[in-house]
Structure 1
Amino acid sequence: MEGVLVLSTKGRVFTNAVFGPVARTLVRAGVSPDAVTVTGTVLTVGVALWLLPTGHFVAGPLAITLVVLFDSVDGLMARTLGRSTRWGAFLDSTLDRVSDAAIFSGILLWAIDRDETAVLATALACLVLGSVVPYARARAEGLGLTASGGIAERADRLFVALAAVFAVGLGAPVIVLVVALALLALASLYTVGQRTGTVYRQTRADAQEAR
């Protein structure tokens, strides 16, 4: 889950400065980047499904953010070793989906317990559409096309969702979370549309060239 919350060059510099020594220490100890990837996912899932459903909306986002930031160590380790494998990229991307699902499922379970229908509906929409966004890209790439970009990249979705949860934990009304999740769902839907349009234009161009 390399750089999930690293949204700028300054953020990457900060991550390298803070976790670079940790990455080098783990490499010297013989720990593999894959082990860090799996461990980070397990911790994220555990924290998300433990703290969020029980309403720990301050401790939960903070703990998840720390785990996700630490999980950027796997990418730093790969660069330290001088090898970034296709297997590592596949594992990282696949487990990212598991972590994302756990976070939104945690919010969803809290909404069910508190009978917060609006949060339930918007969290479910984020959970479903959040899985379609990366699928659209992966399916396009599997066909030899490109479908990257969009306004709802993974880092953006997680940052907004966790920030809204944290705000509610500090006393903001639940409507803040509802609005944030609704906007995320709409952004995800728009991103799917963007990627679909990109693929359509590429296939149309291919068809015209074939004539």
Structure 2
Amino acid sequence: MAKIFQVSARAGMTRVVEPIARALLRAGVTPNAVTVAGTVGVLIGALGFGARGHLVAGALIVTVFALTDLLDGTMARMSGGSTRFGAFLDSSMDRVADSAVFGAVAYWLATQNNHSGVAAALLCLAAGALVSYVKARAEGLGMTCNVGIAERTERLLIVGVGGILTGVGVDPALEIALWLLAAVSIFTVGQRMAHVYRQAQQLQPDGQA
């Protein structure tokens, strides 16, 4: 059910971003330029606003620019498919942006003496990196790994909603969102490892353990 909702939501967002993608391509903007611009926007939202305690502004900026993940992918598809460098750049910029977001959240929570919140933010950062690494490693070994309930956009949306709620006075919302996100991310790592294990067993030559 979660996967059906996830696919439906992404399909709906794709319909929204397609006209924007076409307009940008007609204007000569490349998918790689959108990738870099999206990362810069996330950095501004996280470090320029979120880390200073402007949680609502920071979360809104990060959320808007995180959605460029869908935009650059749509542009790449419309222009004939992603290049090898484009895929590499997209993945690398995602890690930069994620580090900025959770680093900024951890920093702000530390200024509030919220030690359990800091721990949750750091756990989210580590678990998120594992989610991405497991997929990249599986694909590097020739297997697929397109499973999991917590992909990058969903992870940033969860922490974004928590940041906005805390910013408007619902104090525990951000920490709750972080612990929820950490649990979901760890579950996703387990999902992906189990998925890869099943594929590896099917690909294993007879007679080998």
TM norm. shorter chain > 0.5: yes
Q: How big is the shift at 1:114?
A: 1.6
The AA in structure 2 aligned to 1:192 is V
- List aligned pairs for 1:31-50, cutoff 5 A: 31-50=29-48
Question: Counterparts of 1:198 and 1:13 in 2: how far apart (Å)?
Answer: 27
Identity %: 45
CA apart distance, 1:105: 1.1
What's the counterpart of residue 73 of structure 2? 75
Q: How many residues align?
A: 204
- Aligned equivalents of 1:151, 1:22: Cα separation in 2: 27
Alignment deviations for residues 26-79 of structure 1 (CA, whole Å, 9 cap, x no partner): 323322211111111112112211111111111111111222235543233223
- Aligned match of 1:144: 142
**Residue type at the aligned position of 2:95:** R
Relative to structure 1, the CA distance from residue 160 to residue 88 in structure 2 (aligned partners, 3 Å threshold; closer, same or farther) is same
Unaligned 5+ segments in structure 2 are none
Deviation at 1:210, TM superposition (A): 4.6
Tell me how far apart the structure 2 counterparts of residues 44 and 136 of structure 1 sit (CA, whole Å). 24
**C-alpha contact (below 8 Å) 1:61/1:165 kept by paired residues:** yes
Q: 1:15 & 1:208 partners in 2: Cα distance?
A: 41
TM-score by length of 1: 0.84
Higher RCO, 1 vs 2 (CA within 8 Å, ≥6 residues apart):
1
TM-score by length of 2: 0.85
Instruction: Give the structure 1 partner of residue 174 of structure 2.
Output: 177
Go from structure 1 to structure 2 and tell me whether the alpha carbon gap of 1:99 and 1:7 turns closer, same or farther (over 3 Å shift).
farther
Alpha-carbon distance change, 74 to 196 in structure 1, aligned in 2, over 3 angstroms? closer
2:27 equivalent in structure 1: 29
